[in-house]
Amino acid sequence: MVRRDPFLAVLVLCISLALPALASAADAPASDSAAGSVKNISGPATVARGGAAPMALKRGDRIFEKDVLVTGKDASLGLILRDDTTLALGPGSRLVVERFLFEPAKGNLAQVLRITRGSMATVSGEIVKLNPNVARVETPLYSIGIRGTHFLLNLESTGKDEEGAQ
Amino acid sequence: MSPFALPRRTVSLRSLLLVAALLFVLGGCGKPRNVVQLLPDPNGHVGVVSVTTKGGSAELTRAGCAVRVADAKSAPTPPEDLTEAESEALFGAARRAMPEQPVRFLLYFESESTKLVPDSLRQLPEVVAAARARNSLDISVVGHSDRAGSVEYNIELSRRRAAYVRTLLVKAGIAAEGMEITSHGSGNPLVQSTKPHEPRNRRVEVTVR
């Protein structure tokens, strides 16, 4: 019979507790591969990543899962995601890339975008084509299930939650 | 003149204002501005989206139709057509910022080699032109192989194919930093084939975004 070593058990416990903490302490994005990139930008737009202060975005910048994107008062932002979803934010918008997973060969697919204010236009890409059940857009009032492809949405301004790019 | 005339007139003014405000709301100027609209995609195909609140759900299936949401507890309104002016006011800026659809090229290779077949070599200027036209800073170059040979060999072969295509694109003046190369080996075939040697799977897929 294998004797349980209390020291080993404590060590394993410590490591398993420390690992998630170490992972979240790292400033790296939630996934090491990009979810997409900035295709065009007009006016001020920022990204907040891993709890850090918002940084100005520029053309060609990579976008990652969990990024918080904000457009200023007269700004707009065009993005292309890795599954060739195209999307654009109008002025005064805030978008969180909640979930993005595109590994078609392994069947790992997910796309959850959360928009909390402003407006968005999008044409869905490969993820919706391969499995529409894993793609949706969430807002504070409603959620959108996507079986394809091109749609627009707008959220009435509440006057609250107006942080970020100005 | 009655001493009550003035207050009475004030009251009637107030109710007039109230009626005016009510008419304004009923007249549509107060319609909720939380709107989802469905459009045809760039190929003319019309898809389906569903809009769901805690109070219910609505499906958009017709090009140009839209639903409104008053609040999180109410069901979306039945689908209706939006005027061009309202659509422009709600979504115009976002629509104008929509990126062009990405374009994908398939370049094919000789068996067990990084040599492009003649047709694909001739297609290369098209890839370069697309990258220039879009001013692209995001190009994926993904190498693939058929099933002939070991898994490790095919991953290495696919990587070399992708690297070769990148070299050709960089030589043609496309910036290397916006390019990402990936190797899928034989694991992601374009066609399922019983033969290990399948020319259509010996390819590099270039996506210009």
In this complex, do B137 and A79 lie within 8 Å of one another by their Cβ atoms? no
Neighbours of A77 (CB within 10 A): 32
Residues 6+ apart with CB under 8 A from B112: B148, B149, B157
In this complex, do A119 and B90 lie within 8 Å of one another by their Cβ atoms? yes
| Residue bearing the bigger pLDDT, B177 or A23 | B177
Q: Report the residue from A40, A141, A151 with minimal CB separation from B69.
A: A141
Domain containing residue A145: 36-155
Region B53-77: mean pLDDT is 96
Q: What is the pTM of this model?
A: 0.80
CA distance B198 to B115: 15
B153: phi then psi, degrees, rounded to nearest 5: -60, -40
In this complex, do B209 and A84 lie within 8 Å of one another by their Cβ atoms? yes
In this complex, do A142 and B36 lie within 8 Å of one another by their Cβ atoms? yes
What is the pLDDT at residue B24?
A: 52
Residue in the structure block whose two tokens are 């899962």: A65
Q: Is the ipTM above a cut-off of 0.85? A: no
In this complex, do B95 and A88 lie within 8 Å of one another by their Cβ atoms? yes
Listed range (B8-17, B43-52, B169-178) with the worst mean pLDDT: B8-17
Distance from CA of A25 to the nearest CA of B (A): 27
Task: Report if residue A102 sits inside a domain.
Answer: yes
Q: Are A128 and A117 in contact (CB under 8 A)?
A: no
What is the pLDDT at residue A3?
A: 52
Q: Report the residue from B48, B69, B98 with minimal CB separation from A121.
A: B98
CA distance A157 to B34: 9
Task: Report if residue A31 sits inside a domain.
Answer: no
Which CATH number is A101's domain given? 2.60.120
Which tokens go with B207?
């996506």
Q: Are A34 and A82 in contact (CB under 8 A)?
A: yes
Residues 6+ apart with CB under 8 A from B192: none
Residue B37's nearest CA partner among B105, B102, B95 is B95
Task: Report if residue A140 sits inside a domain.
Answer: yes
CA distance A47 to A96: 10
In this complex, do B98 and A87 lie within 8 Å of one another by their Cβ atoms? yes
Residue in the structure block whose two tokens are 């627009």: A152
The CATH code of domain B103-208 reads 3.30.1330.60
Interface of A with B in 76-105 (CB under 8 A): 76-80, 82, 84, 86-91, 93, 104-105
| Residue numbers in A near B140 (CB within 8 A) | 82
Q: Are A85 and A125 in contact (CB under 8 A)?
A: yes
Q: Are A80 and B97 in contact (CB under 8 A)?
A: no
What are the boundaries of each domain within chain B?
A: 32-95, 103-208
Neighbours of A137 (CB within 10 A): 25
Residue in the structure block whose two tokens are 């070399």: B160
Query: What residues are paired with B53 via a beta bridge?
Result: B56
What is the pLDDT at residue A38?
A: 98
In this complex, do A124 and B36 lie within 8 Å of one another by their Cβ atoms? no
Interface test with A, best of B71, B74, B88, B209 (most A CBs within 10 A): B209
| Residue numbers in A near B98 (CB within 8 A) | 78, 86-88, 121, 123
Q: Which residues of B120-134 are buried (b: 16+ CB within 10 A; e: fewer)?
A: beebbeebbebbeeb
Strands (E), A90-134: 94-103, 108-123
Convert the pLDDT of each residue in A43-76 to its tens digit: 999 999 998 999 999 999 999 999 999 999 999 9
Region B1-19: mean pLDDT is 57
Which tokens go with B99?
């990126």
In this complex, do B97 and A150 lie within 8 Å of one another by their Cβ atoms? no
Which tokens go with B138?
């995001």
In total, how many domains does chain A have?
A: 1
Is B5's pLDDT higher than 50?
A: no
Distance from CA of B42 to the nearest CA of A (A): 8
Task: Report if residue A80 sits inside a domain.
Answer: yes
Q: Does A145 touch chain B (CB under 8 A)?
A: yes
Region A80-104: mean pLDDT is 96
Task: Report if residue A91 sits inside a domain.
Answer: yes
Task: Report if residue A149 sits inside a domain.
Answer: yes
Task: Report if residue A84 sits inside a domain.
Answer: yes
In this complex, do B97 and A124 lie within 8 Å of one another by their Cβ atoms? no
Q: Are B69 and B55 in contact (CB under 8 A)?
A: no
Task: Report if residue A112 sits inside a domain.
Answer: yes
CA distance B47 to A85: 14
Which tokens go with A15?
């490591």
